[in-house]
A and B are shown apart, each in its own frame.
Chain A
Amino acid sequence: MIEQAVNLEAVGRQYQQARAAIARRVIICAGTGCVANGSLKVFAALKNEIENRGMDVIVEMGHDHHKSDVFLSKSGCQGFCQAGPLVTIEPDDYLYVHVKPEDAKDIVEQTLIGNRPVARLLYKDSTTGTVFEKWHDVPFYKRQHREILGDCGNIDPEDIREYIARGGYEAARRAYTQMKPQQICEEITASGLRGHGGGGFPTGKKWTLTLAEKSDKKYVICNADEGDPGAFMNRSLMEGNPHRVLEGIMIAARAIEADEAFVYVRAEYPLAVQRIRKAVVDAEKAGILGQGVFGSRHNMFCHVMEGAGAFVCGEETALMASIEGLRGMPRPKPPFPAQNGLWGKPTVINNVETLGSVPLIILQGSHNYRAVGTPNSPGTKTFALTGHVVNTGLIEVPFGTTLREIIFDIGGGVLDKNGKIDADGFKAVQIGGPSGGCLVEEHLDMPLDFDSIKPTGAIIGSGGLVVMNRDTCMVQVAHFFMRFTQNESCGKCVPCREGTKQMLALLDDIIQGRATTKTLELLEQLAVAVQIGSLCGLGKTAPNPVLSTLRYFRSEYEAHIFQKRCPAGQCKALAVPEILAERCKGCGACLRKCPVGAITGEKKAPHRIDPKLCIKCGTCAQACKFNAIVGV
């Protein structure tokens, strides 16, 4: 049965006309970050204030051409999480940062009625003092290249009509009505698109291999099990523009001749789950998903499944086991999912961001897609920029951008332990999460793409960038990731299950001051064994953070082992608390606070700490008003 084909032009035109009847649009960021900072309260306050002024406000775009003063809408993540809650005003393009419900009055009075910006809410660069009126002039945005995230943060992610009005689903329509599967595969191959989920495998090749398989049933899986700690690109894309992801899934399905798809989302992302579910329902209602897609004879159905909290399910064979209702454990490859995937059928698994890039390529053509990025890594990549950096948030830059541009130009520089900008504070950046490694000063000017990063031992991975300042202990960083992978190891193969446990124990020894001259050698041998012997990507890459920190910060490991000293002063067990006699006034504040009575001394004379009794809790250092206690 072929249903009435959806008329994208008519839906788009109708939305544009309705939009044209509205004077101003106020967009409140409703991504997870801004909601946590209270953006929904800002939304309510603004609505209240506008209504109290007797202005006509709508919160949902209607179907008629009803004239209105203000359209108050929520968007997905606008990226600049550090400055949230964010409010953008169209068509003026004003960006207001750190907006509180109390600011609603000024926004309505000065901007909506007075047609001028509220000066105190504009973004001010903390180093130069420059104030920026329009969002696209703010350095954080100006130096980005937002293609995949293009509409994220502008459009209402829950309104399919707005997506269509901006050219959405046109690529899918072309794929289903004007292109043959082979043509789609060729176009994607020509674009040079590579898997944005970490591996960087050529997407076109994966699709061509799956298309070549003869089968009565094939599947597409969208891998949205973004488990890397410190990464939230996929979450933001699903929250900000879920239809873009869905359109990519549809095109992938057409390219391999599949009619059913699964989106496997982390349960830790409730808002993303809700938005992608709504997108599927709305697309079904609009006649885009279902039987006879765009009037063709092809069907397309999409299911959303929530993960249940297992990092290993990001591995494709484990993910498929999880969809089948089994323990999420990987199996050896080959056979690859292209031949033997979900329920034994040929399956394509792509990351959210890879699929989100697909409609762009179909619309603008592979040639134009290659205009940005590097020859071997075309296009753009989103990164989650976090850690000790001024501007944390979600960014998108062309492949080949340097770390220096990302951390210092977009990120605004490195912060010290007190949260102040520190020009020389940069120590390292962890890229690629628990499978990745760290990059240091010497890599700041290296172009970031899949291939140039390889010799460093790190990987682009999914795109988490955690900036670390000089007060970070690199042994602890390695310990942190090893604890993570050890905890997430599924237990199927011995090298990963036992190897990660022993590596963690060795790292523990180093941090606790129990390490011997043999420890490092053993750690390195074990790391190589786990790399070679493990079954899946989780185990094979688990030693990377250790090897990478050892490569660039070996002296830090050695200081822990041979001098029993933590150069960054972070490892408590190695701390040697000391009272500086020249600063101590003998006030007794520390003596009274010490829970174990390790501090002695006469009044008005310098006190002493007995290292044998001290438990290194740090209470004394907090109690001291003269900064006389160091080493804890």
Chain B
Amino acid sequence: MGNAQKTESAEGFRKFEKVCQIIDKYNRDPSKLIPILQEVQHEYRYLPEPVQSYIATSLGLSPARVFGVASFYANFALEPKGRYVIHICDGTACHVKGSNGIKEALCGLLKLSDSKKTTNDMLFTLETVSCLGACGLAPVMTINDEVHGQVTPTKAVELIKAIMEREQSK
């Protein structure tokens, strides 16, 4: 084995070390695939394809099976997300109270659309979700799990602008 190959495998090992720990924590049990993917995503913020294949091999599953599960559930991301993930709730209560206006305002501000969900600088990802269960405060949006209730388009734009300024001054 050549020297170059050695370093590569060592690097590969380091890269997947955390994944290994997570898989071991679940005793390499294939039925724990979903919790494993959830924890791995927590670590990487999304599920890169090589990681999916690695998990498949470790659990004795086909990569297609793992990809099938990863692509089925809405919470699994197959592409990297921005540092700030904005969820606009589009549940019934939020919808009738005007969540669409918030979405339009933020899409305009961040130059995003239904087909382009993440800004070029990888700062923001904008997604709509079906219901966050905070209907009493509709319309609702969350920024990295922090819940904001009774949001108006103006308030939403202010919140995002404040983050932009904070990031620029860093």
Interface residues of A (CB under 8 A from B): 32-33, 35-37, 81-82, 84, 226-232, 235, 266-270, 305-311, 322-328, 384, 386-388, 392-394, 430, 433, 464, 466, 468, 472, 477, 480-481, 484, 487-488, 490
> Is the beta-carbon distance between A327 and B75 smaller than 8 angstroms?
no
Contact assessment for B133 and A231 in the assembled complex, using a CB-CB cutoff below 8 Å: yes
- Whole-angstrom distance from the CB of B28 to the nearest CB of chain A? 12
Whether B92 is near chain A, meaning CB under 8 Å from some CB there, is yes
13 contacts between A and B (CB under 8 A): A33-B134, A227-B130, A229-B95, A232-B133, A232-B136, A306-B35, A309-B76, A326-B69, A386-B92, A386-B135, A472-B96, A484-B130, A488-B130
Q: Is B31 an interface residue (CB 8 A)?
A: yes
A480 touches B145 (CB 8 A): no
Nearest B-chain residue to A488, judged by Cβ: B130
Docked complex: B1-46 residues within 8 A CB-CB of A? 30-35, 37-38
Residues from chain A with a CB closer than 8 A to the CB of B131 are 227-232, 268
Q: What's the Cα separation between A328 and B149 when bound, in Å? A: 31
Cβ contact within 8 Å between A466 and B130: no
Complex Cα distance, B95 from A33, in Å, reads 17
Residue B140 is within 8 A (CB to CB) of chain A in the complex: yes
A266 to B145, CA, bound (A): 14
Question: Contact check: which of B37, B90, B132, B136 meets A82 at CB < 8 Å?
Answer: B136
What residues on B are CB-neighbors of A37 within 8 Å? 137, 149
Asked whether B135 lies within 8 Å of A325 as measured between CB atoms, the reply is no
- 9 tightest CB-CB pairs across the interface, nearest first? A81-B136, A229-B91, A309-B74, A230-B92, A308-B73, A309-B75, A386-B93, A36-B147, A232-B133
Q: What would 10 more interface pairs be, CB under 8 Å, given A308-B75, A328-B73? A: A32-B147, A82-B136, A84-B136, A229-B95, A325-B32, A325-B69, A387-B92, A394-B136, A477-B96, A487-B130
Complex contact A230–B91 (CB within 8 A): yes
Q: Could you say which residues of chain B place their CB within 8 Å of the CB of A481?
A: 92
Q: Measured between C-beta atoms, what is the minimum distance from B4 to chain A in Å?
A: 38
Q: Does A387 lie within 8 Å of B97, measured CB to CB?
A: yes
Distance A404 CA – B144 CA, assembled complex (angstroms) = 39
Chain A nearest CB from B22 CB (Å) reads 14
Q: Which of B38, B135, B140 contacts A267 (CB 8 A)?
A: B38
Chain B minimum-CB-distance residue to A487 = B130
User: In the complex, which residues of chain A have a beta carbon less than 8 angstroms from the beta carbon of B133?
Assistant: 32, 226, 231-232, 235, 266, 268-269
Central interface residue in A226, A229, A477, by most chain B CB within 10 Å: A229
Chain A's closest residue to B65 (CB) is: A326
In the complex, B50 has a CB within 8 A of chain A: no
Q: Give chain A residues whose Cβ lies under 8 Å from the Cβ of B92.
A: 229-230, 386-387, 430, 433, 464, 466, 480-481
Q: A82 — nearest CB in chain B belongs to which residue? A: B136
Rounded to whole Å, the gap between the CB of B95 and the closest CB of chain A is 5
> Chain B residues with Cβ under 8 A from A392's Cβ?
93, 135-138
Q: Which of B87-103 contact A (CB under 8 A)?
A: 90-93, 95-97
Would you give the shortest CB distance from A150 to chain B, in whole angstroms? 20
- B145's nearest neighbour on chain A, judged by CB, is A270
For B32, list chain A residues within 8 Å (CB): 325
Given contacts A229-B90, A328-B73, is CB(A386)–CB(B136) below 8 Å?
yes
Minimum CB distance partner of B75 in chain A: A309
In chain B, what residue has the closest Cβ to A77?
Answer: B136
CB <8 Å contact, B73 and A309: yes
Considering only CB atoms, which chain B residue lies closest to A326 in the complex? B69
Most buried by A among B37, B92, B96, B136: B136
Q: In the bound complex, how far is the Cα of B149 from the Cα of A387, in angstroms?
A: 14
**Docked pose: A380 CA to B34 CA in angstroms:** 35
CA distance A327 to B136 in the complex (A): 32
* Docked complex Cα distance between A354 and B104 (Å): 40
Q: CA–CA, A384 to B39, complex, Å?
A: 32
A33, B93: Cβ atoms closer than 8 Å: no
Cβ-defined contact, A268 with B129, below 8 A = yes
**Residues on A with beta carbons closer than 8 Å to the beta carbon of B136:** 33, 81-82, 84, 232, 384, 386, 392-394
What is the CA–CA distance of A235 and B140 in the complex, to the nearest angstrom?
Answer: 16
Q: How far is the CB of B104 from chain A (nearest CB, A)?
A: 10
A532–B64 CA distance with the chains assembled, in angstroms: 32
Contacts of A228 in B (CB 8 A): 131
Q: How far is the CB of B100 from chain A (nearest CB, A)?
A: 10
Please tell me if the beta carbons of A310 and B129 are within 8 angstroms of each other in the complex.
no
Cα distance, A26 to B40, chains bound together (Å): 41
B81 within 8 A of A: no
Please judge, given known A-B contacts A36-B140, A36-B147, A325-B34, whether A466 and B132 are in contact too, CB under 8 Å.
no
Nearest Cβ in chain A — how far from B109, in angstroms?
Answer: 16
A229-B91, A305-B34 known; A310-B69 Cβ under 8 A: no
A230 with B135: CB separation less than 8 A: yes
Q: How far is the CB of A32 from chain B (nearest CB, A)?
A: 5
Closest chain A residue, CB of each to CB of B133: A232
CB-nearest residue of chain A to B32: A325
Give bound CA distance, A394 to B75, whole Å: 27
Chain B residues near A323 (CB-CB < 8 A): 31
On chain A, the residues within 8 Å of B33 by CB distance are 325
Q: What 0/1 readout, one digit per residue, does chain B (117-142) give for beta carbons within 8 Å of chain A?
A: 00000000000011111111110100
Of all chain A residues, the one with the shortest Cβ separation from B76 is: A308
State how many angstroms separate the Cβ of A632 from the closest Cβ of chain B. Answer: 14
Bound: A138/B30 CA distance, A: 53
How distant is the Cα of A225 from the Cα of B132 in the complex, in angstroms? Answer: 12
Task: Enumerate chain B residues within 8 angstroms of A328, measured Cβ to Cβ.
Answer: 72-73
Bound together, the chains give a CA A480 to CA B90 distance in angstroms of 9
Q: Are A305 and B134 in contact, CB atoms less than 8 angstroms apart? A: no
- Per the bound structure, the CA–CA distance linking A32 and B37 in Å amounts to 26
Which residues of chain B are within 8 angstroms of A325 by Cβ–Cβ distance? 30-34, 69
Q: Closest chain B residue to A312 by CB distance?
A: B72
User: Which of B68, B95, B138 has the most A CB atoms < 10 Å from its CB?
Assistant: B95
Please determine whether B138 and A386 come into contact, CB atoms closer than 8 angstroms: yes
Q: Considering the chains assembled together, what is the distance between the CA atoms of A322 and B69 in angstroms?
A: 9
A310 touches B74 (CB 8 A): yes
Kindly state the separation between the CA atoms of A433 and B76 in the bound complex, as whole angstroms: 25
How far apart are the CA atoms of A308 and B73 in the complex, in Å?
6
The contact of B130 among A229, A305, A306, A384, by CB within 8 Å, is A229
Q: Are B95 and A310 in contact (CB under 8 A)?
A: no
Q: A384 CA to B93 CA in the complex, in Å? A: 10
A277 vs chain B, min Cβ distance (A): 12
Instruction: With A230-B92, A267-B75, A309-B75 as known contacts, state yes or no: A327 contacts B135, CB within 8 Å.
Output: no
Q: How far is the CA of A36 from the CA of B139 in the complex (A)?
A: 12
A567 smallest CB distance to B (angstroms):
16
B54 CB to closest chain A CB (Å) equals 17
- A311 neighbours in B (Cβ, 8 Å): 130
Chain B residue numbers with a CB within 8 Å of A232 are 131, 133-136
Closest residue of B by beta carbon distance from A311: B130
